[in-house]
Amino acid sequence: MIKIGLLGLGTVGSGVYKIMENNYENIKNKVGTALEIKKILVNDIDKQRELQVDRSLITSNYREILEDPEINLVVELIGGEEPAHKYIIEALKNKKSVVTANKLVIAKHGNEILSLAREKEVQISYEGSVAGGIPIIRPLKESLAANRIDEIYGILNGTTNYILTRMAGEKLEFNKVLQEAIKQGYAESDPTSDISGLDAAYKISILASLAFETFIDVNRVYVEGIENISLRDIELAEELGYVIKLLAIGKKENDGLDIRVHPSFIPRKHPLALIDDVYNAVYIHGDAVGDVMSTGRGAGQMPTGSAVVADIIQVARDIHNKRLTPNLLESFQNYKLKNIEEVENCFYLRIQVKDKPGVMSRVTKILGDNRVSLASVLQKHRLTPVVPLILITHPVKEKYINQSLEELRQLDDVITINNIIRVEESS
């Protein structure tokens, strides 16, 4: 019998409890011994819960879990940075193995946590922290262990993917879809972390750290959200043969790692372009395996619960068999993180110019002088003195785009720069 302490009984915590209850015998067979949830930490003992849990299991005192010598596996599902981080550290210090789905803590404190687990000879598993139920952390560490991975592309945030899908499908503006998504529970009441791209940044930091065998400081990852994507951009993307997705990107290049999160034009036929609604996907390129992609539900009680319970089964088996699965990533490598200014991309520029002679020549001269060459130009004539100009560039370093934009803003012909979106060309 292995006794487990559960920290948190929210959405995922309840899912984990249910899965463990419904699959009790099955899990017992897989582990080789029964698993018992001995204590559950909650904020408010008296809160009404959908899930019926024996009152004696519940405590609001974390010491009853972290200091109980009978508990040797702690499952952290509180979320957020503190006190989750403190509890994980405390559990490891007390030689308890830890399973968590906390992307924020792993992305920010992964180095400290992994080292401590190694020192204390206990396990730390976090499959649930990225892409919900899609098996990705373990496959990266184990199934693709023979590969040098050089590219990861992910759609790692379900809320933003849902919003972009609905904007495109129903021709709605961002704010309208966001408000409805909040009402329907597809977005949190404070959706900032999702919308701003930060949630995806935590996740790509975790995946890229594993794939490139290093530790990526999430604070140094370039992040841009979807707040500025308008229906007009989505329609123009369609017209040009693309869709817009919030992409999380990790690439290993000769001059450093390129890790970033931002909206991207993706060619309509690219496999990631077809990932809609709340689905997540991870696309990986390795030298031996070539391209592999996995997709599934990236969040939610049961998908994330599935990943957490899989981790619990693995860790409990190792505890039961008194053995330590060594962390595969013992040799951390150091890489330079590329500055976004040095990253090369194609760009979509949507600007509004005055309808007068020579405008196009003046605009393209500025671009050309700054090494920006154009792949396509779309000029939409309307019955106004204002002309929308849509440009797609060839690959160019971001700093040259930024210089161009600065000069364009000063040009009297340019009324507004509506949007700049990076364009992924399929490799």
Residues carrying an active site annotation: 203
Q: How far is the CB of 75 from its own copies (least distance, A)?
A: 12
Give 322 or 381: the residue with its C-beta nearer to its own copies: 322
Q: How far is the CB of 413 from its own copies (least distance, A)?
A: 44
How far lies 408's CA from each of 82, 358, 366, 371, 381, in Å?
A: 45, 14, 7, 14, 20
Nearest to 214 by CA among 272, 152, 271: 152
Q: Which residue ranges make up the site for its own copies (CB under 8 A)?
A: 15, 19, 23, 26-27, 29-30, 32, 127, 132-135, 138-139, 142-148, 271, 274, 286-297, 300, 302-303, 305-310, 312-314, 317, 321, 323, 326, 328, 330-331
306/301 Cα distance (integer angstroms) = 9
Q: How far is the CB of 166 from its own copies (least distance, A)?
A: 17
Give 114 or 396: the residue with its C-beta nearer to its own copies: 114
In contact, 21 and 34? CB cutoff 8 Å? no
91/69 Cα distance (integer angstroms) = 11
How far lies 234's CA from each of 56, 164, 171, 293, 379, in Å?
A: 53, 8, 9, 24, 16
Q: For residues 299, 301, 302 and 307, what is the CA-based torsion angle, rounded to 10 degrees?
A: 60
Q: What are phi and psi of 41, to 5 degrees?
A: -85, 125
Residue where the block lists tokens 């919030």: 246
Give 135 or 256: the residue with its C-beta nearer to its own copies: 135
Q: How far is the CB of 268 from its own copies (least distance, A)?
A: 12
272/284 Cα distance (integer angstroms) = 11
313's tokens? 């089964």
Q: At what angle do helices 231-239 and 158-170 cross, to 10 degrees?
A: 70
Q: How far is the CB of 52 from its own copies (least distance, A)?
A: 19
Other C-beta atoms lying within 10 Å of the C-beta of residue 53: 17
DSSP string, 293-320: EEEEE-SSHHHHHHHHHHHHHHHHHHHH
Give 146 or 417: the residue with its C-beta nearer to its own copies: 146
Give 146 or 377: the residue with its C-beta nearer to its own copies: 146
Helix, strand, coil share of the chain (percent; to 5): 40, 25, 35
Rounded to the nearest 5 degrees, what angle is found at the Cα of 14, between the Cα atoms of 9 and 15?
Answer: 140
Q: How far is the CB of 41 from its own copies (least distance, A)?
A: 21
**H/E stretch holding 40:** strand 35-41
Give 54 or 330: the residue with its C-beta nearer to its own copies: 330
Give 290 or 358: the residue with its C-beta nearer to its own copies: 290
Amino acid at 186: Y
Q: How far is the CB of 40 from its own copies (least distance, A)?
A: 18
Nearest to 372 by CA among 350, 352, 344: 344
Q: How far is the CB of 204 from its own copies (least distance, A)?
A: 19
Give 145 or 386: the residue with its C-beta nearer to its own copies: 145
